[in-house]
Structure 1
Amino acid sequence: MGSKWRKAKLALGLNLCLYVPKTLEDPSSLSRRSDDTVSLSPVMVPRPTTPIPSSSGLRLPRSISKSSSKKTCAICLTAMKAGQGHAIFTAECSHSFHFHCITTSVKHGNPICPVCRAKWNEVPLQSHNAKSKSSVKPRDDAWMTIPPRRSSQNQSSSRPDGLRPVSSIFNTEPAVFNDDDPLEHQDRPAESSKAGVSGKLEVKTYPEVSEVARSVSFKDFAVLINLKAPAASNSSSSSSRAPVDLVTVLDVSGSMAGTKLALLKRAMGFVIQNLGPFDRLSVISFSSTARRNFPLRLMTETGKQEALQAVNALVSNGGTNIAEGLKKGAKVLIDRRFKNSVSSIVLLSDGQDTYTMTSPTSGGSRGTDYKTLLPKEINGNRIPVHAFGFGADHDASLMHSIAENSGGTFSFIESETVIQDAFAQCIGGLLSVVVQELCVKVECVHPVLRIGSVKAGSYRFDSGPDSRTGCIGVGDLYAEEERNFLVNLDIPIVDGVSDPMSVLKVRCIYKDPMTKETVDLSTSGEVKILRPIAIGERRPVVSIEVDRQRIRLRAAEVISEARVLAERGDLTEAVSVLETCRGILTASVSGRAGDPLCVSLCAELKETQERMASRQVYEASGRAYVLAGLSSHSWQRATARGDMSDTTTMSYQTQSMVDMVNLSQTMNFGKPLASANSSSNSTPIPSAQRRLRQALTFPARPRPR
């Protein structure tokens, strides 16, 4: 029977998502998945069909789409709809039934699916159902928690591959998430702490002009502070970088059914494959409620295969409860017993929150503000949430606010075919953190100087009591990532000042994530300017570096202003403001010189204009595109925008991000295309690694046009 079913699946073209190796579970259960689960044949054979490219991604077979739309209980043959007082049970084979119907069916010890005849590891208990009826009426679309079947302690150890049964990992959820894998740093190579980072943080300063006459005052005199993180080690080993604790919070509501969930699983497979054995991953899914599908586990080869199994089991249904998903994701990091150097949450959703959160721009009165619902660790910028808004129906304002408040970035995934590329860019950064807890301290040197303002975007600036000192909290930096801050000073008229005049002193303090040591850096000397008695008729030359950053800040301010106008409904004025700014940038010194940053900003302004052409276009994609751009500029960090094909996405990309995106775009998922036809004398792959690569092999996916 199993062989015939596998052949039928191949004929229907169901090979859309992740392949789970034959060793992961009972072979008789590998063919029990619905259209939006991860299901590939357990035998690696040539696939006669591939998904059909379309403008929105992959197209599921017509027969499957029709069957998945039938919301009928296979036992009582009546409709399963929310609001009719019936709880819905979704079995591990992904078929759904009325809860009271299926408990009646299995109460005599018959744990068999009535539809596909799959043997279940867990069954709904009649006593549990009866108790629920006597106490609380279950929600129509809520996930039912099924008590795990008791088994012997030797069950996992009897597996020849050493993997634990899926029921022992994913179906139980403790009250406290302190079951995370212990860290294995003691097994890391002794030289890894020295090989992780090439050099130290580079600090450069640029005064706006090199000289100011003594008899002239200069208001908002700008001093640029340029920071560049050191490069990562050339070694490809994960032991040469800071390990990561990554929690993915994934939307599996009903709107994610079909191709969306299939491609999300593909993207998660890419993430899992590129994590190292010292990294840890946890998977949280949410719809009407939230569930921890996979605990925080080390991504050893066994951990990766079990993570794939957890992703494979995701099924779409229900509403969208973003707050519950985030709370559970944060709980994983709060309750953990051990902590890796880098921690982050990745959030993806394609819809509007239908439960507890209120959008910052919706004006709705239902529920409370999301900030009061999320743990303090998120609000306190200690757990960055990198949010990904997917498609035209997500709440971009809400997702942007979550990311902004937590210190993370907001990305807009317009085309479902680039989910994997967007995730690749994000983890390319997270897997290359070389600086942590960076604080930039500034101090005025001359006694008459005061700090007027600091242009630091979303980074917090704390000014001293006398406005002569201050600190910019930068946090983490990825390898080769840059930050630019403008410190504005008021240069007064002075008499008897020696020439030159000391203006500003910069000091950087940060932690090396590999060695855990604190590094204290000062600039080479102080920032100085000349104060001659007179300059004459010659005009001071403005620093090109300062000019470029002023242009960048000006463009970001105009985009923000245009967004405010667009939200008010004045799209005509918004487009006009953007057009005026484009003219100013083109006429600037950087624009006339063809500076790449200026060219990129002009292209972004033009794209923003086009996405504000009408109210319909703005609602569908303009708002999300603008917010992703503002997130990128405020944090000076790359975000995904649109289909990731334009130059604006590349503004803040690091080499690690570029390499990971290139890998995503050129891999036949799990194996580079170039190596697929490599010669036979290549280095043999260990058997466990070979099984993992086979588990991650897919047909080539369509690229966005």
Structure 2
Amino acid sequence: MHINAHLDLSVVPFDTDDEINVLVDITAPPPDDGDDRPPATLEVVLDRSGSMAGERLAGAQRALLGLIDKLRPTDNFGLVSFDDSARVEIPSGPLADKAAAKRAVSALEPGGMTDLSSGLLRGVQEARRVLGDSGATLLLISDGHANTGVVDHTALAGIASDARRNRVAVTTLGYGLDYDERLMTAVADGGAGSALHAEDPDTAGRLISAEAEHLLAKVVQAASLTIVPQPPVTSVSLYGGLPVSPLPDGAVLVELGDFYGGERRKLLARLAVPGIASLGLATVAEITLTCVATQSLTTYTAALPITVNVVPGDEAAGRIPDPVVRAERLFQDVQDAKRQASDALIEGDADRAMHLLTSSALTVKEAMSWAPNRDELARESEELGLYAARARSDANRVSKTMRASWHTGNRKRGRTNE
């Protein structure tokens, strides 16, 4: 794993309270040779409630049949379906009999209510029963709301968090336009996975196929990032609402989950720096990345000190923030505006959503004159404009699309190497 840290301000004024932003840039190594990759474990938990009847269930079935073709006989695969109860359709284990697995997928029929918790719990049990040293991925697919069993978002996210602690990453796929996007992103956050959105069967099939490709190209698992402030710094906060675990002395732990070969992620942290009463270099934080290589099962740890130069106030007065870090802060602010706009639309406040989107679009356009990631920001500007144009007339669709875009840009996949 390759990790870099960039500061927006590398100098701080002597004996003066200040604030700095730290951009952490992490890139996974290239994919391993596919011929000798360790067996993968994939558990699918599929909603077969009544609302899935027709083309939705048929589309999911086609995607799963294609997924089975991608896996090797030595890979572990399992399928749990749920309506008002969970049912093991394919016991998790080596995919030695693909024909039998395909028959089980093809035989699925829609049922009744949506007890998402029973499906998730049973799927986690199945994944944990067979997962090898390389861990497992669980893909939860649902088109509705949890309306029986455990329905509380925090409790369901807690199930996913417990799965992640037991080396089962959880990704969610919200299918159609009737699912609860807040719930599905909460579960994905708990499981350190992706929160995907597919309005139609073709998109669902493409996303399911892509998740399988990511699983098969996994090079790192159980990755985590710890940021420990050094005196006099006492606290750290992360942009974008990333789920973090607080540690003693103001430190934070971020669970990053699995990385596929070549995947790149960026995190942005803010350090409140109290006045430092001595000139020269000062260490304000230490960043530690820990992960396990999937191929060798070797645990790697990389530590990176974050230092600033304390200078007299007149020397610090002419500081210019690093444009790369400044642009990343803008990017993260835009992602957070998408999340807030999605919340506003869910709550029926289209005016607030419009204000968030239009003001963010204006800020992005103003940044085009100085930002180094102009292509990325141009895409964001176009996206924000489309959301704003449709927010009033198609609030449900826009809310779900924005939430998936926020989650991708802020948490997981999709960032380009710009």
Unaligned runs of 5+ in 1: 1-200, 361-368, 639-650, 655-705
In the TM superposition, what are the counterparts of 1:127-142 in structure 2 within 5 Å? none
Partner of 2:254: 472
In the alignment, which of 251, 264, 271 is matched to residue 67 of structure 2?
271
Q: Deviations over 1:371-414 (max 9, x none)?
A: 39958834868533322121123333333333233333221111
How far apart in 2 are the matches of 1:456 and 1:557? 6
Q: Decide which structure has greater strand share.
A: 2
Partner of 2:334: 555
- Classify 1:627/1:381 alpha carbon distance in 2 versus 1 (closer, same or farther; 3 Å): farther
How far apart in 2 are the matches of 1:527 and 1:379? 29
2:128 corresponds to 1:347: no
In the alignment, which of 24, 39, 44 is matched to residue 243 of structure 1?
39
- Classify 1:559/1:372 alpha carbon distance in 2 versus 1 (closer, same or farther; 3 Å): closer
In the TM superposition, what are the counterparts of 1:496-645 in structure 2 within 5 Å? 496-498=278-280, 500-523=281-304, 526-533=305-312, 535=314, 539-588=318-367, 593=372, 595-614=374-393, 617-619=394-396, 621-635=397-411, 637-638=412-413
How far apart in 1 are the matches of 2:259 and 2:252? 20
2:415 corresponds to 1:652: yes
- Classify 1:281/1:211 alpha carbon distance in 2 versus 1 (closer, same or farther; 3 Å): same
How far apart in 2 are the matches of 1:337 and 1:370? 25
Q: Deviations over 1:424-469 (max 9, x none)?
A: 2222222222222223333445x4333342337434243333x3x5
How far apart in 2 are the matches of 1:374 and 1:442? 26
Amino acid at match of 1:356: G
Following TM superposition, by how much is the alpha carbon of 1:205 offset from its aligned partner in structure 2, in angstroms?
Answer: 1.3
How far apart in 2 are the matches of 1:372 and 1:606? 32
Following TM superposition, by how much is the alpha carbon of 1:555 offset from its aligned partner in structure 2, in angstroms?
Answer: 0.9
The answer to whether the Cα contact below 8 Å between 1:247 and 1:345 also exists between their aligned partners in 2 is yes
The answer to whether the Cα contact below 8 Å between 2:157 and 2:188 also exists between their aligned partners in 1 is no
How far apart in 1 are the matches of 2:51 and 2:65? 21
Amino acid at match of 2:244: R
Partner of 1:413: 198
Partner of 1:485: 267
- Classify 1:204/1:388 alpha carbon distance in 2 versus 1 (closer, same or farther; 3 Å): same
The answer to whether the Cα contact below 8 Å between 1:224 and 1:484 also exists between their aligned partners in 2 is yes
Unaligned runs of 5+ in 2: none
Q: TM-score, normalised by structure 1?
A: 0.54
SS in 2 for 1:540: coil
- The CA RMSD over aligned residues, in Å, is 3.0
Following TM superposition, by how much is the alpha carbon of 1:590 offset from its aligned partner in structure 2, in angstroms?
Answer: 6.9
Q: Deviations over 1:646-666 (max 9, x none)?
A: xxxxx3379xxxxxxxxxxxx
Following TM superposition, by how much is the alpha carbon of 1:494 offset from its aligned partner in structure 2, in angstroms?
Answer: 4.4
The answer to whether the Cα contact below 8 Å between 1:544 and 1:590 also exists between their aligned partners in 2 is no
Q: Deviations over 1:531-552 (max 9, x none)?
A: 3436559732322221122012
Partner of 1:230: 29
How far apart in 2 are the matches of 1:531 and 1:255? 61
In the alignment, which of 189, 196, 199 is matched to residue 404 of structure 1?
189
Q: Decide which structure has greater helix share.
A: 2
Following TM superposition, by how much is the alpha carbon of 1:282 offset from its aligned partner in structure 2, in angstroms?
Answer: 0.6
How far apart in 2 are the matches of 1:298 and 1:512? 22
Amino acid at match of 1:418: T
How far apart in 2 are the matches of 1:594 and 1:471? 28
Amino acid at match of 1:263: G
Q: Deviations over 1:517-571 (max 9, x none)?
A: 2212234xx4333334365597323222211220122112222322333233220
How far apart in 1 are the matches of 2:302 and 2:159? 36
In the TM superposition, what are the counterparts of 1:64-213 in structure 2 within 5 Å? 201-213=1-13
The answer to whether the Cα contact below 8 Å between 1:562 and 1:577 also exists between their aligned partners in 2 is yes
The answer to whether the Cα contact below 8 Å between 1:352 and 1:394 also exists between their aligned partners in 2 is yes
How far apart in 1 are the matches of 2:104 and 2:160? 26
- The share of aligned pairs that are identical, in percent, is 22
Q: Deviations over 1:37-61 (max 9, x none)?
A: xxxxxxxxxxxxxxxxxxxxxxxxx
Amino acid at match of 2:321: V
Following TM superposition, by how much is the alpha carbon of 1:370 offset from its aligned partner in structure 2, in angstroms?
Answer: 5.5
How far apart in 1 are the matches of 2:233 and 2:178? 51
- Classify 1:492/1:396 alpha carbon distance in 2 versus 1 (closer, same or farther; 3 Å): closer
SS in 2 for 1:476: strand
Amino acid at match of 2:204: I
Partner of 2:20: 221
Q: Deviations over 1:346-374 (max 9, x none)?
A: 121223444334475xxxxxxxx853995
Tell me which of the two structures has the higher relative contact order, counting C-alpha pairs closer than 8 angstroms and 6 or more residues apart.
2
SS in 2 for 1:627: helix
- Classify 1:420/1:202 alpha carbon distance in 2 versus 1 (closer, same or farther; 3 Å): same
Following TM superposition, by how much is the alpha carbon of 1:421 offset from its aligned partner in structure 2, in angstroms?
Answer: 0.5
How far apart in 2 are the matches of 1:408 and 1:438? 12
Larger Rg: 1
- Classify 1:594/1:472 alpha carbon distance in 2 versus 1 (closer, same or farther; 3 Å): closer
